[in-house]
Structure 1
Amino acid sequence: MTRPTARVLALLELLQVGGQSTVGELAKRLGVDERTVRRYAEHLADLDIPVQARRGRYGGYQLARGYKLPPLMLTDDEAVAVVLGLTVGRRSGLLANEVAAADSALAKLQRVLPSALAKRLASLLSTVEFTTPSRAGVPPGVPVLLELAEAAQHRRTVTIDYTAWDGRVSQRALDTYGLVFHSGRWYVTGHDHSRGEVRTFRLDRIAQTWPADGTYEVPPGFDSAAQVLAGIGSAGWKHEVVVQLHTTLAEARRRLPLTVGALTPVSGGVRLTARADRLDGMAQLLAGLGWAFTIEKPDALRIEVAALADRLRAAASPTAQML
């Protein structure tokens, strides 16, 4: 690539950042005079790239809004970041809506990378190990996702068509506080006008959204991710569990994920309010924490804890048989 051609492409890269740059700024960045910048801009125009000029003392150039740019020029670090981002996004389910687009983008990028860098990236992707399993994401409707994001940004109430887990369909007026991606699914959380409380909804169960009357403010300190995780932790389980843990709130929060249940400080410790499908599993969780605890309910949990204690004593006995 000749040096003038490289500088013409460098000008294009500078304009891709967005906004308008003065001729003087561009000349300084490119290491040329202002007359040469104007000539480079003419070269781009000859390639049908819509470079817009503004005349005057502080005149400059910018690309037309909405123009679909040609392939971007990436540094080695930027190329690695994009490849790893696409790879991780596919594994986590984040790109469930755009699997084909992600694969196509990754293939295009790998085709145009310098040979040495392409080989090193191929080596990385073939040897890297992930500590979390690959997830098949549940894709939401892209229009729904974008409309809720816009509503959240501008604090505008929306109406949603929602299908619950049991097939019931309802319309809800929702103040969108935040969007959360967790474990292969998108969730939206906010104030549900029909219930008069903060609720969490899965985006793949929202058929459509449309604007409603009203604006709102998000409560100070509201944590969308914490709200979603707490909601997941309390949904769809057989048993309600309330246990007082004899530890500090800070230590309980450090050891227990938000999906386990809600933690409330009380006199002498922390109250854990949770849901459980199996009480024997809850007994094992409590024993594994290593703290003293008091079971408030259910009574069946006390039976499971006693049974676990009996099994542990039997296993620790010198006469225990080796299997």
Structure 2
Amino acid sequence: MLELLQAQPGLTGPELAKRLDVDGRTVRRYAGTLADLGVPVQAERGRYGGYRLLPGYKLPPLMLTDDEAVAVVFGLLVAARQGVTTPLALAKIERVLPAKLRERVQAVRETLGFTAPARESAPPATGHLLALGEAARSHRRVRVTYRSWRGDDTERDFDPYGVVVHNGRWYTAGHDHRSGEIRTLRLDRIGSITSLEVYFQAPDGFDPIAHVVAGLATVPYRHEVEVLLRIGLADAARRIPPVVGTLTDHPDGVLFTCRAERLDGMAQLLAGLGCDFTVHRPDELRAEVLALARRLERAAAGRRSVVGEGCAEDHHGDQ
């Protein structure tokens, strides 16, 4: 009711009842509740009467710090994607934020993307997130200091096209003027961000989420992996996330290619797929699969031995 009266003062009791899907008695009770909360609702009778807030009344701004505002907005975005709340809740929060912070928070919301499923994760440095959100929405270039995965510190001009949350990490995709290519940067590796008086035009139809997912699937880890899976393409896509690797239809099944830093983990992933497979490369992965098979066989044999002894004891007891 308060939302309606702020947007359209002078609504009559029947009009409010219809909008709120309640009866007239409930509308009057709502008006009394608002008055008890210190919100001055005035009811006027007559042809031009209706409910309205006293002239000059406005809700005070919600005084949140930048960190608090980003945490609240991100939590509501995740909750909305999971069906716990609706976008209306976020709109209400934004409406009562101070104007400058509201603009920055809206910029983050409009340029933020999630890979499915969304989940709670700790946001990066709030200043970085707000700066990148503003830059992506206004198409404004930034200068960042960035630490690569090798530990090298560099400075580069960057055109951010969007911010993406994937698997608990935060990334930005955009044009890196140092390399002259579209790159993905991790926000937790950014040391500083400075806005520049230079504007850019993002490529038509560019999808930051798709770019981040595809880029992570080709991260230059130590080993190149190629495995033939004896299942259909649709089934393989349900079992293997796009960020893990690339799936290609093959006459004998699906060709799975990726890069991996640890082959023991790759062996466990393949064993967990629940399908037959053939390792094409590397040879070291075949060795890891065989080693895992032997460990599982020993574990299974140990379990059979324990069960067998238990059955023998039960049988002896019956005699």
What interval of TM-score do these two structures reach, taking the shorter chain for normalisation? Answer: 0.5 to 0.7
State the shift of 1:201 in Å: 1.2
Q: 1:139 aligns with which of 120, 124, 129?
A: 124
The TM-score normalised by the length of structure 1 is 0.56
Amino-acid identity (%): 44
1:56-98 per-residue CA deviation (whole Å, 9 max, x = no partner) reads xxxxxxxxxxx74489xxxxxxxxxx9xx57x88xxxxxxxxx
Counterpart Cα distance in 1 of 2:46 and 2:155: 62
1:280 aligns with 2:264: yes
State the shift of 1:161 in Å: 2.8
* Contact 2:221–2:260 (8 Å) recurs in 1: yes
State the shift of 1:252 in Å: 1.6
State the shift of 1:317 in Å: 6.1
> What is the DSSP-based 3-state SS (H/G/I as helix, E as strand, rest coil) of the residue aligned with 2:209?
helix
1:145-168 per-residue CA deviation (whole Å, 9 max, x = no partner) reads 223223333444443332334443
Q: 1:240 aligns with which of 203, 206, 224?
A: 224
State the shift of 1:319 in Å: 11
* Contact 1:192–1:199 (8 Å) recurs in 2: yes
1:161 aligns with 2:174: no
* Contact 2:5–2:52 (8 Å) recurs in 1: no
Corresponding letter in the other structure for 1:141: T
* Contact 2:5–2:11 (8 Å) recurs in 1: no
* Contact 1:141–1:204 (8 Å) recurs in 2: no
State the shift of 1:134 in Å: 7.6
Counterpart Cα distance in 1 of 2:235 and 2:181: 29
Aligned to 2:195: 210
Name structure 2 gaps, 5 residues minimum.
Answer: 18-44, 64-71, 80-92, 94-117, 308-319
State the shift of 1:256 in Å: 0.8
* Contact 2:142–2:193 (8 Å) recurs in 1: no
In the alignment of these two chains, the number of paired residues is 233
> What is the DSSP-based 3-state SS (H/G/I as helix, E as strand, rest coil) of the residue aligned with 1:26?
coil
> What is the DSSP-based 3-state SS (H/G/I as helix, E as strand, rest coil) of the residue aligned with 2:178?
coil
1:125-150 per-residue CA deviation (whole Å, 9 max, x = no partner) reads xxxxxxx9986x253233x3223223
> What is the DSSP-based 3-state SS (H/G/I as helix, E as strand, rest coil) of the residue aligned with 2:275?
coil
Q: 1:289 aligns with which of 255, 273, 276?
A: 273
State the shift of 1:199 in Å: 1.9
1:149-189 per-residue CA deviation (whole Å, 9 max, x = no partner) reads 23333444443332334443323333323212234432111
Counterpart Cα distance in 1 of 2:169 and 2:237: 24
Aligned to 2:49: 36
Corresponding letter in the other structure for 2:55: L
1:187 aligns with 2:171: yes
Distance 1:229 1:140, change over 3 A: farther
> What is the DSSP-based 3-state SS (H/G/I as helix, E as strand, rest coil) of the residue aligned with 2:285?
helix
Counterpart Cα distance in 1 of 2:256 and 2:235: 13
Q: 2:289 aligns with which of 282, 285, 305?
A: 305
1:260 aligns with 2:271: no
> What is the DSSP-based 3-state SS (H/G/I as helix, E as strand, rest coil) of the residue aligned with 1:194?
coil
* Contact 1:141–1:203 (8 Å) recurs in 2: no
* Contact 2:144–2:194 (8 Å) recurs in 1: yes
Name structure 1 gaps, 5 residues minimum.
Answer: 1-9, 50-66, 72-81, 90-104, 106-131
- Report the aligned-residue RMSD: 4.2
State the shift of 1:300 in Å: 0.5
The TM-score normalised by the length of structure 2 is 0.56
State the shift of 1:255 in Å: 0.6
